Structure 1
Amino acid sequence: MSFIRTFHGDIEPSKLGFTYSHEHIVCRPPYWVEQEKDDLLLDDREKSKLDVQDFKNLGGQAIVDATAVDYGRDVQAVKEIAEETGVTIIGTAGFNKSFLWDAPIPEHVKRLTGDYDRYSEWIEAKSINELADFVIREVEEGLEGTTIRGGQVKFGTGYNRITPLEEKTLRAVARAHHETKAPLHSHTEAGTMGLEQIELLKSEGINLEYISFGHMDRNPDPYYHEKVAQTGALLSFDGISKIKYAPESTRIQCILELVKKGYEDQILVSGDTARKSYYKHYDYGLGLEYIIGKWVPRFIDEANQNGFDGAKLINKFFIQNPARCFTFKK
C-alpha cells in the first residue's frame, strides 16, 4: 500500500493536491540564533500562519516543511497552523548541511540526542547506524519526541564539497530510507555536488527515483540538470522569486529545457521561503502567495508561447509529481 505521511497521519497520494515541495514555516535555527541573524528566524506562529492562509486562499492544498532537527523546527506550532488553516503539511526527518552543526543543541532535543552540547559533537560521536536509528524513530515514532511523524528523510552537503560528517549523515539517511521507505530529499548548496551525492547514494543501494534534489535552480546549468534527471531523480526548482540569484526567465528556461528532453515528470517547484524578508506578513516580502498567484500564470504564458501546454505542466509540477515524490513505497 502506498501512502503519504503528513502531520495528521497517512493519506492516499491522490489526496495531496496542489503542493509546494520545499518551504519552512516556523523555525529558529540554533546556528542563526547564535549568530543573531534575525531575518533567518521564522519565530512568529501567527505571522507564518497568515502566509499559509494566503496560499490556501489561492487554492494551495499542501506544503512540504523541509525543516530538519538541526534547523530549529517548532513541530507543535506547525501542527497548529496545519489544523487552523486546513493545509496538509509534510514534516522532515534527517539533517541539513554541516556548517549549521556548529550550534548548540536545544534542551528539548538533548533528551533525544544525549549529553552533547553541539550538533557537530553528536554527529561526530555517533556511528552511521546510530544516526540512522535516530532518523528512523523520527519517521516511525515522531519528530523530536512528539507523535508527529516525518514524511521524508533529508541530508545536505555544502558548496562544492562534501565533508566527512556530511557523508556520514547522507549514509545514515540512506539507510533510514531503506528501513522506512520514506522518500528522500537532498540539500545541495547553491545546486552543487548533486552528481557526487548520487555516487554515494548508489554505493548505499538507493533507487534514485525515490529522491528529490533541492536547489537545482541555484545552478542553472541545463547539462548538469540533464545528468541528474537521467538517473530518474526529481529536480526541485525551489528558489522561485529569489531574483538576487537569477531572474525568473532563467529558471523557466531551465525547466522548459528539461521538459523538451522529456523530463516533465521529474520536476518540482517551490520557494524555500526561509527568511522574514521573504514572507509577506513578517516583513512585506512576496510571501507564500507569490508562486501560486503570480509565478504560475507567468509560467503558463511562457510555456504556451514556446509550444507547450502550460496548464498541463503546472498540474504535473504541483500535483502529479509531488503525489508521486512524497509517497512511501512499501
Structure 2
Amino acid sequence: MTGEPEVRTVLGDIDPAELGVTNAHDHLFFASQLLPGQELDDPVAAAHTLLDFRTRGGSALVQWTPYGLTRRTRELARMSAEIGVHVVAATGLHREEHYSPVILGRVIDGLVEEFVADLTEGTQPADLPDEPRTGPRAGLVKVAGAFHTIDSHARLTMTAAAVAHQETGAPIAVHLELGTAGLETVELLCEKLDVPPGKVILGHLNRNPDPALQRQIAETGVFLGFDGPSRANHATDWRLFDGLEALVEAGHGGQILLGGDTTTAAARAQPGASYLLTTLAPRLTELLGGDVVTAMLVANPARAFATSWLK
C-alpha cells in the first residue's frame, strides 16, 4: 500500500488524528427481518441520537450496518455535515438469516464487486439496485460468523471481504455471533486469506466472556471490539470490566475498541449510544485510568479504521 493512512468517512477521507472520541461500533439505521417492529429507520430519531452523542463529547461514530439492512448512507452524510460528527459507513453482508431471498439474490454472486464499488464509487440502496452510485463511500467491510463456527455463508462473505481488502485496503469488521468463533475467524482471514491482523476488528467479544480465549485472540494482533450493553446480552455486561482489566494488564490495551451497538428501537431509548460516554467510560476510567480509556476511545479507533487506500 502507498500513501498516508486515512479514515474514509461519509463526507470523504480524513486524517486519523481528526477522528477524535469514537463510538467504534453502533447503528443509527438498522432494519432486519429478524427484529420486526424494532427497526431503526427514523432520520429524526437518528439525528437526535447523533446530536446527543456530540453533546456528550463524541466526535465520531462508526456504523456497522452492511448492505441490505437499511444503512441510509445519504442520511448519514447529511447528519454528519449538519451535526458535526464524523460518520463511517459499512459495506459487506450480515448473516444469511437477516435477508430476504430477493435481497440476498441480488448480490450473492458478485460480492467482491459490490463491496469494492461501495468502498470506491459510492453506496447504493438495496431496493434501488439499478440507480447510479451517488451515495457516500463506505469505509469498512462488515461480515459475520455463525455460532461457534464459520458456516458456508460466513466463509463466502469473509473470502469476498478479504479480496475487497486486497483491492482497496479497507478494514474488515466481523460480527461474532454471541462472541464465538473468534479464533476460527482469525485463522480464515489472517492465516488463510492473508489479511493483516491489524486490518481486522472482531466485534462482540464481551458476549463470550472467556478470559483465556479473549487473551488468545488478542495475541493474534487483531483489534478487539467490546460493544454494548445490549438488552439481549445483558447477562454478560457485568463481566466486561474484569475482561478489559485483564487484557490491559496483559499488554493489549492498544487493541481495544468500545462501542454501543444499538440495533433496536428499544435499545436506542435505553441505554442509547451515549451510554458509552456518560456511564461506561467514567466507570472504566476509575478502574483503568484516564489515559488507558482515552486510548480506547481515540488512539485505537484512529488506527483501526485508517488505511492507506488503494482506490
TM-score (norm 1): 0.86
Q: Which residue does 2:253 correspond to in 1?
A: 264
1:101-112 paired onto structure 2 within 5 Å: 101=99, 103=100
1:38 aligns with 2:18: no
SS in 1 for 2:306: coil
1:166 aligns with 2:154: yes
Unaligned runs of 5+ in 1: 105-116, 304-309
SS in 2 for 1:186: strand
1:141 aligns with 2:121: yes
Q: How far does residue 49 in structure 1 lie from its aligned partner after superposition?
A: 1.0
1:3 aligns with 2:1: no
SS in 2 for 1:21: strand
1:60-209 paired onto structure 2 within 5 Å: 60-101=58-99, 103=100, 117-119=102-104, 121-122=105-106, 126=109, 130-144=110-124, 145-201=133-189, 202-209=191-198
Check whether the contact 1:184–1:210 (CA below 8 A) recurs between aligned residues: yes
Counterpart amino acid of 1:314?
V
Q: Which moved more, 1:178-187 or 1:244-253?
A: 244-253
Cα deviation, 1:36-89, whole Å, max 9, x if unaligned, reads: x112x0121111111111110011000001110032211222222212211100
Q: How far does residue 118 in structure 1 lie from its aligned partner after superposition?
A: 3.7
Q: How far does residue 147 in structure 1 lie from its aligned partner after superposition?
A: 3.6
Cα deviation, 1:223-247, whole Å, max 9, x if unaligned, reads: 1111111111011000236484335
Check whether the contact 1:191–1:215 (CA below 8 A) recurs between aligned residues: yes
SS in 1 for 2:235: coil
Q: Which residue does 1:113 correspond to in 2?
A: none
Check whether the contact 1:98–1:163 (CA below 8 A) recurs between aligned residues: no
SS in 2 for 1:236: strand
Q: Which residue does 2:214 correspond to in 1?
A: 225
Counterpart amino acid of 2:113?
D
SS in 2 for 1:149: coil
Check whether the contact 2:227–2:260 (CA below 8 A) recurs between aligned residues: yes
Check whether the contact 1:98–1:157 (CA below 8 A) recurs between aligned residues: no
Check whether the contact 2:201–2:225 (CA below 8 A) recurs between aligned residues: yes
Check whether the contact 1:209–1:231 (CA below 8 A) recurs between aligned residues: no
Counterpart amino acid of 2:144?
G
Q: How far does residue 206 in structure 1 lie from its aligned partner after superposition?
A: 1.2
Whole-Å Cα distance in 2 between the matches of residues 118 and 69 of structure 1? 9
Counterpart amino acid of 1:288?
A
1:234-249 paired onto structure 2 within 5 Å: 234-240=223-229, 242=231, 244-246=233-235, 248-249=237-238
Check whether the contact 1:98–1:158 (CA below 8 A) recurs between aligned residues: no
Q: Which moved more, 1:53-62 or 1:155-164?
A: 155-164
Whole-Å Cα distance in 1 between the matches of residues 78 and 91 of structure 2? 19
Whole-Å Cα distance in 2 between the matches of residues 153 and 43 of structure 1? 21
Cα deviation, 1:288-314, whole Å, max 9, x if unaligned, reads: 2211011111111122xxxxxx10111
Whole-Å Cα distance in 1 between the matches of residues 194 and 286 of structure 2? 41
Whole-Å Cα distance in 1 between the matches of residues 237 and 179 of structure 2? 16
Cα deviation, 1:186-213, whole Å, max 9, x if unaligned, reads: 1100001111111211211111111110
1:297 aligns with 2:288: no
Q: How far does residue 249 in structure 1 lie from its aligned partner after superposition?
A: 3.4
Whole-Å Cα distance in 1 between the matches of residues 103 and 28 of structure 2? 24
Counterpart amino acid of 1:320?
A
Q: CA RMSD in A?
A: 1.6
Q: Which runs of 4+ in 1 moved over 4 A?
A: 241-244
Whole-Å Cα distance in 2 between the matches of residues 72 and 134 of structure 1? 16
Check whether the contact 1:23–1:65 (CA below 8 A) recurs between aligned residues: yes
Q: Percent identity at matched positions?
A: 30
Whole-Å Cα distance in 2 between the matches of residues 149 and 68 of structure 1? 12
Q: Which residue does 1:317 correspond to in 2?
A: 296
Tell me: CA distance 1:287–1:118, structure 2 relative to 1, closer, same or farther (3 Å): closer
SS in 1 for 2:224: strand
1:280-295 paired onto structure 2 within 5 Å: 280=269, 285-295=270-280
Whole-Å Cα distance in 2 between the matches of residues 24 and 7 of structure 1? 14
